[in-house]
A and B are shown apart, each in its own frame.
Chain A
Amino acid sequence: MLGITTYRVQRQLSLCLVAIVAFLIFASQGSATDRKTIGVIMTGDIPYYAKMHRAFTAKLSREGYGNVEILLQKPYPDLISWSNAARKLVAVDVDIIVTYGASATIAAINEKTNIPVVYAGVHHPAAIGITGKNTTGSVAKVPTSSLFRYLKGITSISNLGVLYSELEKDCMKEVEELEALSRELGFKIVKINIKRPEDAKKIKTAGRLDALFLTSSASVNMALDPILDIARANRLPTASLLKGENNSGVIVTLSTSPEEQGELAAEKVIKILRGAHVGAISSSTGKDIELIFNLRENMSMGFKIPMDLVTEATKIVQ
């Protein structure tokens, strides 16, 4: 009697053990196939990209993809760092590479892998070679001429300081657009190459300037604080193509919404995760353009109130 009971218990325990092992095997196989990894390259530590990334991850979570693993790379804005960041993501074989800004996107494309690349916050993708069957993304086009027009409403401009980085192709297109505008309108462009925050000092030795135009360069935006200190000290109004913090100190900003850019990138990533081929997903252009006027900064620097800006601005900082 005792022998039969022991046999039954042993048999039941064996069956349970087999069931547990089988469950663990299937469960581990399931997670290995279901849990995706997304590599993200976010240049530097600038608020525009940080906002974009927050919107990107929030959208993924809302759509039920909060469990994807995100490997975030924050390279310094130089060619080697961008390349290293992209190479690391390829080495760990992420499922999708998401890039914020043109330079990070170019670095990812240059790796020539089959990993889909989804970009956000790129101003002129076609003009700088961001194309290909393995690439899609959201375009953040803002007319530089419009921003210059508003800046001109604050003060008359004969000499415009243009802050850019020669390493960043997207901002070089903006410089080209400003050069074309300067030829038409008869003002002078003073180009100031910013590779690191210390380069902001170059503004002081650039000769006579009437205003500063900050391109979408990551290097320029990483050097924002020293740039604005010099602008204030020399009473130079500033204009930027990238939205920063709520009161960054830039007087006029015309920028695509980073939140919208992040969400558009997330929508494309979700399509890929659901099985769509990246080549079948067309790129889209951001619709939410923000015109921000910092009245407080404008008044503290003693400039007139430009009524066009006051009436047109989507946000006024007071």
Chain B
Amino acid sequence: MFDKKKFIFNLIVLAFIFTPLRISAKQDVLQEEILIGLIPEQNIFKQMDRYRPLASYLSEKSGVRIRLTILSRYGDIVERFVSRGMDGAFFDSLTGVMAVTKLGVEPVARPVNLDGTSTVRSYIFVRADSRINSVSDMKGKRIVFVDRATATGYLFVIAFLQEKGISDINKYFGEYFFTGSHDSAIYSVLDNRADIGSAQSTIFNMLVSKDPTIRKELHIIAQSEEFPETTLCLRKNISSDIKNRITDILLHMNQDPAGKEVLKKFGALKFIRAEVKDFNPVFNLAKRARVDIRGYKGER
């Protein structure tokens, strides 16, 4: 047996050593450069595979070298946005709200999924053969969350439970743990490593589209209202020229054959303009969960 964390860390380091080289070798004529952060929605390898073609396309079209960096976890994401000198990030709905509130980042664009939606929901799910059908059946069981700094993988569940009279997850559940990514939370319930899970609908549906048996094995007990899809937000003092170029390319890439190919790999139909008001449902969710966004760090 060996240290799994160390092994994964080494793989990540290797991936990151080589990734920028590949992009920069192609783009060595580019002068400007921006660093975009990615949240760990899925495992980081899948996440890099998904975003790398998009970064290359944006670099080529905008003349601005786009470098990607994975934020290893959701918590402290706002602090790390500053400390790592990021120019923007694809935030999920809760980290987006935190970044808008604390840093004043500007939402630029968000993808439209293949089903035509540009929103996500939180699902609370169990194995279909688990005999868990209600909150009362969950008492003493094992629940898995994604991260405290996610709306779909934590905050909705907290709000949902509070509305059912459960205010302390420590007392109500036999065990709870965090997986750090949505797909991992789903696999935990599938494998019976947890009894109840919560995750983002788009990742759930993506796994189901690859393996339809998953839909039969999992039973969705509750789902949230709609929250905005992962949104590209740029820091407030980035040059307006760069911001406009990137926004324009994203909003029109569905009209370009090469852009369409990239969107296909990304798993989206197009990008649409994003605004701060898109995050209103998340502000409401935070109130329901009795969370003050200004002081919330989402730490485990």
Closest chain B residue to A309, Cβ basis? B187
Q: A181-B213, A316-B2 are in contact. Are A149 and B190 (CB under 8 A)?
A: yes
The A contact surface, by secondary structure, is mixed
Among the 9-residue stretches A47-55, A139-147, A191-199, A217-225, the one with 4 or more Cβ atoms under 8 Å from chain B is: A139-147
Instruction: Compute how far the CA of A316 lies from the CA of B1 in the bound complex, rounded to whole angstroms.
Output: 6
CB of A176 within 8 Å of the partner chain: no
Contact across chains for B211 and A149 when beta carbons are under 8 A apart? yes
Contact across chains for A312 and B213 when beta carbons are under 8 A apart? no
CB of B127 within 8 Å of the partner chain: yes
Instruction: Compute how far the CA of A146 lies from the CA of B216 in the bound complex, rounded to whole angstroms.
Output: 13
Closest chain B residue to A313, Cβ basis? B4
Instruction: Compute how far the CA of A312 lies from the CA of B187 in the bound complex, rounded to whole angstroms.
Output: 8
CB of B167 within 8 Å of the partner chain: no
CB of B16 within 8 Å of the partner chain: no
Residues of A within 8 A of B45 (CB): 307, 311
Please give the number of chain B residues whose Cβ is less than 8 angstroms from any Cβ of chain A in the complex.
Answer: 26
CB of A287 within 8 Å of the partner chain: yes
Closest chain B residue to A180, Cβ basis? B213
CB of B101 within 8 Å of the partner chain: no
CB contacts under 8 Å to A, within B141-196, are 142, 174-175, 181, 183-184, 187-188, 190-193
Of A146, A254, A287, A307, the residue contacting B142 (CB under 8 A) is: A287
Instruction: Compute how far the CA of A205 lies from the CA of B192 in the bound complex, rounded to whole angstroms.
Output: 35
Contact across chains for A143 and B191 when beta carbons are under 8 A apart? yes
Instruction: Compute how far the CA of A318 lies from the CA of B10 in the bound complex, rounded to whole angstroms.
Output: 14
Please give the number of chain A residues whose Cβ is less than 8 angstroms from any Cβ of chain B in the complex.
Answer: 25
CB of A92 within 8 Å of the partner chain: no
User: Min CB distance, A151 to chain B, in Å?
Assistant: 13
Instruction: Compute how far the CA of A149 lies from the CA of B175 in the bound complex, rounded to whole angstroms.
Output: 26
Contact across chains for A312 and B184 when beta carbons are under 8 A apart? yes
Contact across chains for A146 and B4 when beta carbons are under 8 A apart? no
CB of B212 within 8 Å of the partner chain: yes
Closest chain A residue to B212, Cβ basis? A184
> Interface digits, A173-212 against B, CB 8 Å rule (1 contact, 0 not)?
0000000010011000000000000000000000000000
CB of A35 within 8 Å of the partner chain: no
CB of A289 within 8 Å of the partner chain: yes
User: Min CB distance, A286 to chain B, in Å?
Assistant: 9
Residues of A within 8 A of B184 (CB): 311-312
CB of B43 within 8 Å of the partner chain: yes
Q: A146-B192, A184-B213 are in contact. Are A307 and B46 (CB under 8 A)?
A: yes
Instruction: Compute how far the CA of A142 lies from the CA of B217 in the bound complex, rounded to whole angstroms.
Output: 13
User: Min CB distance, B143 to chain A, in Å?
Assistant: 12
CB of B206 within 8 Å of the partner chain: no
Residues of B within 8 A of A308 (CB): 43, 183, 187
Of A142, A246, A315, A317, the residue contacting B192 (CB under 8 A) is: A142
Q: A289-B192, A289-B193 are in contact. Are A315 and B4 (CB under 8 A)?
A: yes
CB contacts under 8 Å to A, within B92-142, are 127, 142
Closest chain B residue to A142, Cβ basis? B192
Residues of B within 8 A of A307 (CB): 43, 45-46
User: Min CB distance, B215 to chain A, in Å?
Assistant: 11
CB of A310 within 8 Å of the partner chain: yes
Contact across chains for B127 and A316 when beta carbons are under 8 A apart? no
User: Min CB distance, B117 to chain A, in Å?
Assistant: 26
CB of A250 within 8 Å of the partner chain: no
Which of A's residues lie within 8 Å of B, judged by CB?
141-143, 145-146, 149, 181, 184-185, 246, 254, 287, 289, 291, 307-308, 310-318
Which of B's residues lie within 8 Å of A, judged by CB?
1-2, 4, 7-8, 11, 43, 45-46, 127, 142, 174-175, 181, 183-184, 187-188, 190-193, 211-213, 217
- Subset of 26 A-B contacts with CB under 8 Å: A141-B192, A143-B127, A143-B190, A143-B191, A143-B192, A143-B217, A145-B190, A145-B213, A146-B187, A181-B213, A246-B1, A254-B191, A287-B142, A287-B174, A289-B192, A291-B191, A291-B193, A308-B43, A308-B187, A310-B7, A311-B45, A311-B181, A311-B184, A315-B1, A316-B1, A316-B7
Given A307-B43, A310-B8, A317-B1, 5 further pairs, Cβ under 8 A: A142-B191, A143-B190, A145-B213, A149-B211, A287-B174
Considering the complex of A and B, which 8 residue pairs feature the smallest CB-CB distances, nearest first? A311-B43, A307-B45, A146-B191, A318-B2, A289-B193, A316-B4, A146-B190, A312-B187
